[in-house]
């Protein structure tokens, strides 16, 4: 069985609950997304992202800085990868 890493980011707000719970297979795309979130916090910008197909997120800066944000890496199998492909990484048709 082939085991790889599964990268996950969660944004949880006290009032709104879970705002984002997204998983990545590609470490580079995960790293870029984390840098985008960090940049939005430091530059006091809203977090806005659209993959051009089926994933859109917009979090105003006010709520982003009030949120708990976690990122982690968890091992997973190839079967998990096929079942849970990230919407952000999905190929554009």
Average pLDDT in the chain: 88
Label residue 80 by pLDDT band (50, 70, 90).
low
Question: Is residue 19 in some structural domain?
Answer: yes
Question: Is residue 90 in some structural domain?
Answer: no
Question: Is residue 92 in some structural domain?
Answer: no
Q: Which domain holds residue 77?
A: 3-83
Q: Inform me whether the pLDDT recorded for 65 exceeds 90.
A: yes
Residues whose CB is less than 8 angstroms from the CB of residue 71 and which lie 6 or more positions away in sequence, other chains included: 7, 8, 9, 10, 30, 34
CA distance 5 to 86: 13
Question: Is residue 91 in some structural domain?
Answer: no
Label residue 40 by pLDDT band (50, 70, 90).
very high
Contact 81, 7 (CB under 8 A): no
Q: Inform me whether the pLDDT recorded for 86 exceeds 60.
A: yes
- Work out how many domains the chain is built from and give that number: 1
Structure tokens at 80: 């998990």
Model-level pTM?
A: 0.77
């Amino acid at each position: 069985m082939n085991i790889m890493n599964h990268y996950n980011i969660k944004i949880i707000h006290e009032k709104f609950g879970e705002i984002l719970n997204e998983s990545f297979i590609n470490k580079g795309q995960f790293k870029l997304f984390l840098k985008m979130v960090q940049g939005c916090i430091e530059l006091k910008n809203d977090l806005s992202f659209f993959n051009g197909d089926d994933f859109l997120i917009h979090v105003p800066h006010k709520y982003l800085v009030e949120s708990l944000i976690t990122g982690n890496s968890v091992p997973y199998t190839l079967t998990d990868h096929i079942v849970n492909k990230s919407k952000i990484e999905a190929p554009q048709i």
